[in-house]
Chains A and B, each alone.
Chain A
Amino acid sequence: MTPVIAVEHIAKRYGDLQAVADVSFDVQEGEIFGLLGPNGAGKTTTVECVQGLRHPDEGRVWVLGLDPRNQAGALRTRIGSQLQESSLPQRMRVAEALALFSAFQPDGPPWRTVMDQWGLTEKARASFGSLSGGQRQRLLVALALVNDPQVVFLDEMTTGLDPAARRATWALVEQIRARGTTVVLVTHFMDEAMRLCDRLAVVDHGTVVASGTPTELVDAHTDGVTVTFTGPEQNAELAEALRRVPGVADVERAGPQYSVRGGPTVVAPVCAAIVDHGLAPPDLDVRRPSLEDVYLRLVSGDES
């Protein structure tokens, strides 16, 4: 299947700053694709190049078969965009904003329908400045969809939102995908990427350091699952039995503290072995590595 977006080795420099050094990825139709990375990694510059808002110094970009460099006008009618660090005039009202933006996109649905779909009708006369963070994001998402786009770019949309508003915003993203729209999500939140993205690319210092589904990334870049529990002080047989469980890589014991490390499938057999030994440790805990562990391993921590 032809990808909706193809990015091939793009690079972009601002003066002395190499914002993007070498970024490539494909986005397939209907998926939520994430660009994950720390602030300043080059994510925003990358999506701006993809949208034709900037032009890369090197490399090539195709979006919906168009070249953003010289077909930005045609592209603009088929993509939607919620930009980081963009704003609306404080006194502009919700209905006004939707009417205004849809005036430039004549092929889109009637703006009142969009306002209704995104639950903004009761806020129609509220000014942008009076909206809460979550309501603003809802409006910006609605504005990104006034042209009924095939691809939507969402850049750092939950930064600065409280947890409830973040969750509400995640629901919006899933709602967008449910309409069949491809979503490109830029974020530096691991939980957000894990929860929403079908596939993602981890970007650091302007390059893609890893890409795949969240599960693939976790499997490829972490040491697997760890089961911990408190058991008998002296029981070499238990430790031996645990070592024999298929998939277990390592058993560590420090006094009564057991720590069993292995692949993602070892949890059930390890627990079975523990039960076989007549134990039911109340503090048994399973730690599955998350995207956060991948991230911390792959991304150099300049900010600490």
Chain B
Amino acid sequence: MRGLGTMTRTELMLFLREPVTVIFTLALPLMVLYVLNGVFGSDAAAGGGGDGDFIVYRGFDAADWYTPAYVALAAAGFAFIALPAHMVEYRESGVLRRFQASGVPRGAALGSQTVVALVISTVGAALLLAAALLFAGASSPQDVGLFVAAYGVAAVAITMMGVLLGTLLPTARAAQAVGLLLWFVALFLSGSGPPPEVLPEGLRTIGDWLPITPIVRLLQEPWLTGDWLVRESLVAVGIAAVSGAVAWVAYRWE
């Protein structure tokens, strides 16, 4: 599409000129990795090993269980918190009106935000994976190719949810509050924070219905077993398609 490339490049440059956002975006996943690994990490797999103990992490090593889940969290950190606030701020401050009046097509405005978010999430994910493999004792994925494919689907789905938030939320303040809330809910209930096995039944059910949960599982499976979760991948594609379509229809310039 005409202008999409220029717009994406410009948006990336603008992002890099915001040092606080850059640091937040890249440091958040590393911090999460460090803290959660400290809390839940190492050999909790057997839950103590005594009689009546339940198995957590489905019996896998904690670092292996968490690393792919954090990839989803890292992407969500940008897509749920930074991206909607940025999009809403553009709308509130009149930048979008300026774009609209100058003939910027909706596809370029939405597309550039999507591509920039994907690029940033991917850089964050790469950093996170490097740190997990080098310092947190994670073993490499069972099937690298399937994991990369799962990442592609997951990143698009998570980013499109963020784009949808940025389209629907009315103010930058609301965007920040809602984004943070959603990110913490995702952290605690999707299987990327406390092991799902230790959650009370009610919370576990909520977790099962969060859109982020199938995405986390989709990323974990190729890493842990080398398998591809067909149902979860279809759900993720569905989330991406529905979020994108609703954002497209509901997009407002002011």
Contact = CB atoms under 8 A, between A and B. Distances in A.
B48 interface: no
A146 B103 CA distance: 11
A105 B93 CA distance: 23
A94 B108 CA distance: 20
Contacts of A143: 98, 102
Interface stretch (A83-91, A192-200, A291-299): A83-91
Contacts of A73: 103
Interface stretch (A12-20, A95-103, A234-242): A95-103
Contacts of B17: 91
Contact of A83 (B5, B101, B108): B101
B108 A89 contact: no
Q: Which 4 A-B pairs have the closest CB atoms?
A: A76-B103, A103-B6, A86-B94, A86-B98
B101 A53 contact: yes
Nearest to A81: B101
Interface residues of B, number: 24
A87 B93 contact: yes
Interface of B: 2-3, 5-7, 10, 13-14, 17-18, 90, 93-95, 97-98, 100-105, 108, 253
A92 interface: yes
Interface string A259-303: 000000000000000000000000000000000000000000000
A15 B94 CA distance: 22
B103 A104 contact: yes
A87 B98 contact: yes
A106 B3 CA distance: 9
Contact of B14 (A53, A87, A92): A92
A88 B10 CA distance: 12
Interface of A: 51, 53, 73, 76-77, 81, 83, 85-89, 91-92, 96, 99-101, 103-106, 143-144, 146-147
Contact of B97 (A77, A86, A89): A86
Contacts of A144: 102
Nearest to A51: B101
Contacts of A96: 10, 13
Given A85-B94, A87-B93, A91-B18, A101 B102 contact: yes
Nearest to B15: A91
A78 to B, nearest CB: 10
Given A53-B101, A88-B98, A103 B13 contact: no
Contacts of B7: 100, 103
B104 A104 contact: yes
Contacts of B93: 87
Given A83-B101, A99-B10, A100-B7, 13 more contacts: A53-B100, A77-B103, A89-B14, A91-B18, A100-B3, A103-B2, A103-B3, A103-B6, A103-B7, A104-B2, A105-B103, A144-B102, A146-B102
Contacts of B2: 103-104, 106
Contacts of B104: 104
